[in-house]
Amino acid sequence: MRTIDEIKSDLLNNNYIMSIHAAQKAVNRDITIKEIRETAADLKIIEDYPLDKYSPSCLLLGFTLQKRPLHIQVTTDSSSILKVITLYQPNNDKWSNDYKIRRKYEIQMS
């Protein structure tokens, strides 16, 4: 399994690939390679998915130099190159505690 330091290094040094989904989302959401690199300075793992469908992965939180929050989901399997699965700018409607914790919604019955 990759450590957070290895993930940071891979993102900082452009030593990763992006899934087709992630590449499309980056374009649609105006997320640049430079911004991905900038988040590497202070990335944190906020969710871990060891049993993810294709490969173990985790959700990272990092901030660009302009303080834009980004969530980046990456593979954590150390046997292959780091892969960015998806990425997006989280919003306050779905995330709390400075974008670290998923909000839980109650289903209201009428």
pLDDT means over runs of 10, the chain (110 residues)? 94 95 97 96 95 93 97 90 96 91 65
What is the pTM for the complete model shown?
0.90
Q: How far apart are CA 103 and CA 92, in angstroms?
A: 9
Residues 6 or more apart whose Cβ sits within 8 Å of residue 77: 1, 2, 55, 56
Task: List the one residue out of 84, 55, 57 whose CA is nearest residue 72.
Answer: 84
Contact between 22 and 36 (Cβ < 8 Å) = no
Which pLDDT score, from 0 to 100, does residue 57 have?
96
pLDDT for 104 equals 79
